Amino acid sequence: MKTALLFPGQGAQFVGMGKKLYDEQPKAKELYQRADEILGFQLSKICFEGPEESLNKTNICQPAILVTSIVAFSVMSARGGSAFGGKETGELPEWSASAGLSLGEYTALVASEALSFEDAVRLVERRGTFMQDDCDKTKSTMASIVGLDRQKIQEVCSSIDGIVGIANLNSLDQIVISGEYNAVQQASEKLTQAGAKRVIPLKVAGAFHSPLMKSAETKLTRELANVNIKSPARGVVSNVTGDYVKTPEQIRSNLSRQVSSPVLWADSMQRLIQDSYDTFYEIGPGKVLAGLMRRINPNIKVINYEV
């Protein structure tokens, strides 16, 4: 049996997440307090008490999900000991690879000791701010397409006059498109006509993982240049390539490109499955990744750790 860890991305947040861990685990309290100090505001209070509209802001929910996921990972892997790199005890078995959905890739890199907790918290707050800035520049949106393959979706998107394309390959039959508002609307209509089972408009701030995020990518590239990144101690699969990242240079490049490139989640999961990973732990808020795995391969076991 081979075990890998999965970490959620934006959209998994909910008011109250992490509160139980904070109240019961000294390590959880320590990490939330460190995050509050790094950011200069009470992220923990927003996680635990809301309001929801504050938690849902891109520059808030990104560090909130990252910190909550790392807290859960820390409690699972090293109760009462070092947050990272300590002897694994308790509920988490030996694991040798990880992946995270978009934002969650930063959590995977922290868990794999390629990125420090402090740098990750700072980076994702900046990342969220840069992405929100780009959302504010152009009226844009995203939509989930169920029941059509990526080739057909790409074909339809290419026929639209405007910026629209694949943003998330969540599974073979659930794909998210992203782009200018009118272009996404037109593509949604054409995809319905082409036989999509469902076309679901998403409640998002804008066109994540599209060319409309290029300014955010440029700004994030500058931030990443000043961060100490190490080679991962365990395997990390990148959203951008659907394959392992092994060097600091690869990590920097992929984290930059990830902001405006499609998230190849299904490819990433297939890569791990091909490498004989058969047990996955979803660590952090929500159960989205377990649901996606059922679509990708229903025979794979995913264990969710509640926060």
Q: What is the pLDDT of residues 192-211, one digit of tens each?
A: 999 999 999 998 999 999 99
Q: What pLDDT, in 10s, does the model give residues 155-167?
A: 999 999 999 999 9
Whether 2-134+212-305 shares its CATH topology with 139-204 is answered: no
CB 175 within 8 A of CB 241: no
| pLDDT of amino acid 90 | 46
pLDDT band, residue 227 (cuts 50/70/90): very high
Q: How far is CA 271 from the centre of its chain?
A: 17
Instruction: Name the catalytic one among 44, 69, 74, 102.
Output: 102
Q: Residue 121 has what pLDDT?
A: 98
220 touches 134 (CB < 8 A): no
The pLDDT tens digits for 9-62 are 999 999 999 999 999 999 999 999 999 999 999 999 999 999 999 999 999 999
Predicted pLDDT of residue 92:
84
- At residue 78, the pLDDT reads 65
Instruction: Quote the pTM value.
Output: 0.94
Q: What is the mean pLDDT of the chain?
A: 94
Torsion of CA 230, 102, 209, 199, to 10 degrees: 160
Whole-number Å distance between alpha carbons of 198 and 232: 39
Tell me the domain boundaries of the chain.
2-134+212-305, 139-204
Domain 2-134+212-305 has CATH 3.40.366.10: yes
Is 209 catalytic? The answer is: yes
Measured between alpha carbons, how far is residue 274 from residues 6, 65, 278 in Å? Answer: 16, 29, 9
Specify the amino acid at residue 282. Answer: E
**Interacting residues of 211 by C-beta distance below 8 A, sequence separation 6+:** 163, 165, 179, 260
CATH topology of domain 139-204: Alpha-Beta Plaits (3.30.70)
Cα separation, 173 vs 185, in Å, equals 20
* pLDDT reading at 86 higher than 60: no
Helix (H) or strand (E) holding 279: strand 277-283
In terms of pLDDT, which residue wins out, 215 or 83? 215
Task: Estimate the crossing angle of helix 214-225 against helix 117-137, to 10 degrees.
Answer: 160
State yes or no: pLDDT of 225 exceeds 90.
yes
Reported as a single tens digit per residue, the pLDDT across 118-160 is 999 999 999 999 999 999 999 999 999 999 999 999 999 999 9
Q: Which residue has the higher pLDDT, 87 or 39?
A: 39
Q: Where are the alpha helices (DSSP H) in the chain?
A: 19-24, 26-39, 43-49, 52-55, 58-77, 104-111, 117-137, 150-158, 181-193, 214-225, 248-258, 265-274, 288-296
Query: 144: closest CA among 170, 177, 184, 169?
Result: 177
pLDDT of residue 306: 75
Q: Annotated catalytic, 112? A: no
Percent of the chain with pLDDT over 90: 93
In the set 144, 209, 256, 260, the catalytic residue is 209
Q: Which helix (H) or strand (E) holds 200?
A: strand 198-201
